[in-house]
A and B are shown apart, each in its own frame.
Chain A
Amino acid sequence: MKKNNLTYLESVHRDGKIWGIALCLIIFAFPVAISIVFGAVPEWEALAKGMFATVPMYWAVGIVEIFTYIPMLGAGGTYLSFVTGNISNLKLPCAVDAMERAGVKANDEEGEIISTISIAVSSIVTTIIILIGVVLIGVIAPVINHPVLTPAFDMILPALFGGLAVVFIAKNPKLSIAPIILMLILFIFVPALNAGTVGIMVPVGVLFTVAVARIMYKRGML
């Protein structure tokens, strides 16, 4: 059994690596192909400015995200999520909920499988919905851009995390107190923290909560 387990996980890593490198090359080949087909050359000064405004922040966040999300997503889930994107607002909550309902943990093999299935299904459904939307853009755009519906889409994150919070706080009431208080204080009193910077605070929340959990566990409080 143990040998089989090892084989599955190792093969996920092997295939994940091959797919990941191949897709990375394809994604980078796209701008190159556009340049060749249309004879386009980047405007170097604007490119440098645009890169400078984007790369340092998002690479820093990206690197921290890798270490934060891998333990939560599992191997298969990680290889899929970092290519298909929309991790914190879709893939991660989807996988977390699926693992919770199935009663499995991210760091055992059942969790690995449930997380992979959940994220793969979510990616496929997302691709199909966006495809339908793009094909029918003339019909769909006026409906989903209708001013009446705009607030609903603006509030997707509070609506998503309200439900998820109930499940996890109910499960770990003692452990929830410290991180929630910390985050409330930070977000209410630090003006720079908002929708654009919440991604940076996820790893902070995770590291802080794991540290608090470790202390409480060592003292026999959990």
Chain B
Amino acid sequence: MEFSVNHPIIFIMVGLIILTVLGQSVYFLVRALKRAKELGIKKEVINKTIGSSAVFTIAPAVSILVGVIALSKSLGIALPWLRLSIIGSITYETVAANNALTALGIPAGTQITDPDVFITVLWVMTVGIAAGLILVPFLTKKVQSGISKIGMKDKKWGEIFNNAMFLGMISAFLGYVFCDVTLVFKGDFSGLIPVFVMAVSAIAMAICGGLSTKFKIRWLTDYALPISLISGMASAIPLTNWLG
């Protein structure tokens, strides 16, 4: 069969894989909703979780779509559609594709026409990030039962442990926001953009928190994270014009 990166057969295969992965999400969602009912978790809490998770996802999902479009220049649409709907992240998929294309001596942005090149890139992208995919089914139960023992032994420590994990993750990303600030000493102020964006987002979150407590606006608490995310992203536009 004559190869093309946008061959209908590739789209059909990709569509089927994405559909199966979607089936997994729907299956676990239904199971969790049933269990929530059994445990008597309030319907209001469940609805808010669904609503705020859906709204929060929109902006990051659109940014993932930007990655699909960027990769589609060399890989066609079907493969980036698959890779970014499942498994990897934008940063990983771009790096893996570029590593393979560089090894093949193909400049980024050139559309692939040779099936041998396509399959080479595809194998690198598939195997490169497979650690989690292969190991998670076998390790999750062991790791999780170890962790839940911590919570059972000492409840207070279990809670602190939980918060410490989240703080550790957040602190790594806060550090990353500052990674280019020293460029200021070379007269380049672009390193301050992420710092200011983070500040705008943090202020938006604090305002949401303050307003919802003072005026008892409950929905503001539920949608505070998407609001702060969008505020920060929007502020990046004038900030980049100013400092970039």
CA separation between A199 and B132, bound complex, in Å? 14
Complex contact A17–B171 (CB within 8 A):
no
Contacts of B236 in A (CB 8 A): 151-152, 154-155, 159
- Tell me if A's interface is mostly helix, strand, loop or mixed: helix
Kindly identify, within residues 134 to 183 of chain B, every residue whose CB is under 8 Å from any CB belonging to chain A: 134-141, 143-144, 147-148, 150-151, 156-182
Given A24-B133, A121-B50, A151-B193: A51 and B127 interface contact (C-beta under 8 Å): yes
CA separation between A79 and B32, bound complex, in Å? 13
Considering only CB atoms and an 8 Å cut-off, how many residues of chain B contact the other chain? 157
B196 to chain A, nearest CB (A): 9
Given A94-B57, A134-B77: A217 and B170 interface contact (C-beta under 8 Å): no
For the A-B complex with A27-B17, A66-B143, A187-B176 known, give 17 more contacts whose Cβ atoms are closer than 8 Å.
A13-B144, A24-B130, A38-B3, A53-B103, A59-B128, A62-B129, A66-B140, A68-B165, A83-B24, A117-B53, A152-B237, A158-B177, A166-B205, A168-B166, A184-B175, A207-B168, A210-B164
Q: Within the complex, which residue of A23, A122, A171 is in contact with B24, where a contact is CB–CB below 8 Å?
A: A23
Given A162-B232, A188-B178: A167 and B136 interface contact (C-beta under 8 Å): no
Q: Chain B residue with minimal CB distance to A35? A: B119
Q: Is B75 an interface residue (CB 8 A)?
A: no
Given A113-B32, A116-B29, A213-B161: A54 and B96 interface contact (C-beta under 8 Å): yes
B209 to chain A, nearest CB (A): 7
Complex contact B57–A122 (CB within 8 A):
yes
Complex contact A54–B65 (CB within 8 A):
no
Contacts of A98 in B (CB 8 A): 49, 52-53
Kindly identify, within residues 51 to 99 of chain B, every residue whose CB is under 8 Å from any CB belonging to chain A: 52-54, 56-66, 68-69, 72, 77, 81-82, 84-92, 95-96, 99
A6 to chain B, nearest CB (A): 11
Complex contact B147–A83 (CB within 8 A):
no
Contacts of A105 in B (CB 8 A): 151, 158-159, 162
Complex contact A34–B120 (CB within 8 A):
no
Q: Is B217 an interface residue (CB 8 A)?
A: no
Q: Is B115 an interface residue (CB 8 A)?
A: yes
CA separation between A125 and B57, bound complex, in Å? 7
Given A40-B115, A50-B124, A51-B128: A160 and B147 interface contact (C-beta under 8 Å): no
CA separation between A209 and B113, bound complex, in Å? 49
Contacts of A106 in B (CB 8 A): 162
Complex contact B29–A70 (CB within 8 A):
no
